[in-house]
A = this chain, B = another copy of it.
Amino acid sequence: MIGYGYWGPNLVRNFAEVIGSQSLSLSDLSPDRLAIAQRHYPAMRTTTNYGELLADPHVEAIAIATPVSTHYDIALKALKNGKHVLVEKPIAATSTQAAGLIEAADRLKRVLMVGHTFVYTGAVRKIRELVAGNQLGTIYYYDSVRVNLGLFRHDVNVIWDLAVHDLSIMDYVLASQPCAVSATGTSHLPGEPENIAYLTIFFEGSLIAHLHVNWLAPVKLRRTLIGGSEKMIVYDDLEGDDKVKVYDKGININHDPESRYKMLVGYRTGDMWAPQIDTTEALRTQVTHFVHCIEKSERPITGGDSGLRVVRILEAASQSMSKRGEVVELDTKGPTA
Q: What is A's interface to B at a CB cutoff of 8 Å?
A: 40, 42, 140-141, 143, 145, 147-152, 180, 182, 184-189, 196, 198, 200, 202, 206, 208, 210, 212, 214, 216-220, 225, 227, 229, 232-234, 238, 240-242, 245, 247-252, 260, 262-276, 279, 320, 324-327
Question: Is the CB–CB distance between B208 and A186 below 8 Å?
Answer: yes
A212 to chain B, nearest CB (A): 7
Question: Is the CB–CB distance between B218 and A200 below 8 Å?
Answer: no
Question: Is the CB–CB distance between B218 and A232 below 8 Å?
Answer: yes
Contacts of A42 in B (CB 8 A): 42
Question: Is the CB–CB distance between A269 and B149 below 8 Å?
Answer: yes
Once A182-B184, A218-B232, A247-B218 are accepted as A-B contacts, the answer to whether A267 and B200 lie under 8 Å apart by CB is no
- The interface centre, meaning the residue of A145, A180, A249, A274 with most chain B CB atoms within 10 A of its CB, is A274
Once A187-B206, A212-B212 are accepted as A-B contacts, the answer to whether A232 and B251 lie under 8 Å apart by CB is no
Contacts of A327 in B (CB 8 A): 324-326
A194 to chain B, nearest CB (A): 10
Taken together, the copies of this chain in the complex come to 4
Give 7 A-B pairs besides A147-B225, A218-B232 with Cβ atoms closer than 8 angstroms.
Answer: A150-B252, A150-B269, A182-B182, A218-B234, A218-B247, A219-B268, A325-B325
Contacts of A149 in B (CB 8 A): 252, 263, 266-269
Once A198-B210, A200-B184, A251-B189 are accepted as A-B contacts, the answer to whether A273 and B270 lie under 8 Å apart by CB is no
Question: Is the CB–CB distance between B262 and A279 below 8 Å?
Answer: yes
Chain B residue at minimum C-beta to C-beta distance from A223? B221
- The interface centre, meaning the residue of A141, A149, A210, A229 with most chain B CB atoms within 10 A of its CB, is A149
Question: Is the CB–CB distance between A216 and B251 below 8 Å?
Answer: yes
Instruction: Specify which of B40, B210, B260 is in contact with A212 (CB 8 Å cutoff).
Output: B210
Contacts of A141 in B (CB 8 A): 186, 188, 196, 214, 216
